[in-house]
Structure 1
Amino acid sequence: MSRMRVNGVDLHVEERGTGFPILGIHGTPSSAVMWEGAAATLAHHGRCITYDRRGFLRSGVPATSESVDLGDHVEDARALLELLDATPAIVIGRSTGGLVALEFALAHPSTVRALVLLEPAVFTIDPEVEAWAGGLRRRTADAAAEDPDGAAEAVFRLWLGDAMWESLPGELQAMFARTSPGVRAELDGDGLDLSAHPRRYTDDELAAVTMPALIVAADESPEPLRRVAVRLAERLPDARLAPVEGGHLIDPAGPEVLQFVDEHAAG
């Protein structure tokens, strides 16, 4: 574990294993804490790098800014991999982390060998899902304005259901609550799924993401999240869809992911 200064921000970074680089990008709200078990498994398949994105838990934000944009997260990932001499990498992103991973692959294709997108939060790809997400975003912003420290809990309850939040052990609820500053920064930012102006992709842009991609969707997730995975798998040139059991917190080291990682780390 280490602290690395990236683009004016101190990021909490963890490395495990050796071999081909594998970068894990967590969702919103979350932290590399939620990837510890998966990272330990992935470390048997390559050099696994995980980190807390700017604004979340153990990573900072610039003192001069209260908002975080999609581009900030993309450039942090790029700079981090360059500092670690870890390009190209297989990039795994879950939820909002999947959106960051997709934008990263589009902006810096030479740094990405392959993509794994675990129900990526690319909600503008489908009009009905975009409308659903827009309504939830407004309710999340209202909840965060009323109770800033409860912003992370509001995301869980509004987007994934009360049962998801209440199923979490108390220590995880406390950890997620500490990521509320990151949630608020993304609500005030641009391009993210929680932003008032989320990123929109044209067909030509998606066609330019030509590296192999595995898109994973869980059978118990909210239907809009599963629909996005299907739509994206149809529009990326070299993507395949992998259905799995369970809910939205898909295992970044599930068997289908490990098979994909081994295939592309070798080739």
Structure 2
Amino acid sequence: MKKMILIAALLAQTNLINAGELISRRFEGSIRSNGIGDFSLMRRSTGDKLITATELEAFRKDNNGNLVFAVDVNESSKGSENRDSQGIAVQSAWIDVRINNVLYQFANFTTQTRSSLAAVGSTNRQMYYTLLGEAGSSRITSNNKSDIYGSSFDGTLTIPVNMDISKATSIWIHFRLLQTNTKLGDPESFYDFSGGFEDVAIVTKSDAAYLNILQAGRDRAPLVVANDAGSAVGSYAFYPSSSDYYLAAYEDQFPKPATTILTI
């Protein structure tokens, strides 16, 4: 069913493409093995070709007031991580926009999935946004000129930007990955970032939809909570067992809270 939906979406998108439309672009550099990545949105991976502020504003409008980024999850195949399913957790991500020598910062972000994780040095688990993927893939998008086409990009990260950025002189995105407490085993060991370098691209609405429908690596990842799994959830509690992961989700259903046990 997922493949049928994906094919239908690609066919619909193909009819909309013309020479003047946006094309997803990969940035110069990568998120490094220390979990830190800083990218100028105006520098493409080719180095000699720039992305203009006007084009970045077109990306923002195309994504309904958001800038959307694809990440190529590139982790080592060890433990529960393998070629079919790899993951990282995002501690923070933000965009800096400079216009007329004034700096504007946008620090709210979302991804398609979350997980309950403990940071290094702690056993206290809390929810973090995650990015999932797989190795050795070759994406077939609706536009073969896109930097996503033929690539191994995986999950998406979205940051709302509620202003016109067409006059910006500098735009940067910053990533800080979560250093998990791998001594606890999974899910922390799965979502660590010890593997390697993650490439990042800015994507069109159609390419973002393609990757979101694909859900690369999600089926075999531990403790995955889809980002649309109930906006009324107020808190989560993590309960490990010998064979499964359990989350108790406490929903705000006045006058009495409701508890739902999710087996993952």
TM over 0.5: no
Relative contact order (alpha carbons < 8 A, sep ≥ 6): 1 or 2 greater?
Answer: 2
- Please state which band the TM-score falls in when normalised by the shorter chain: under 0.3
In our comparison, the structure showing a higher alpha carbon Rg is 2
More helix by share: 1
TM-score normalised by structure 1 residue count: 0.25
TM-score normalised by structure 2 residue count: 0.25
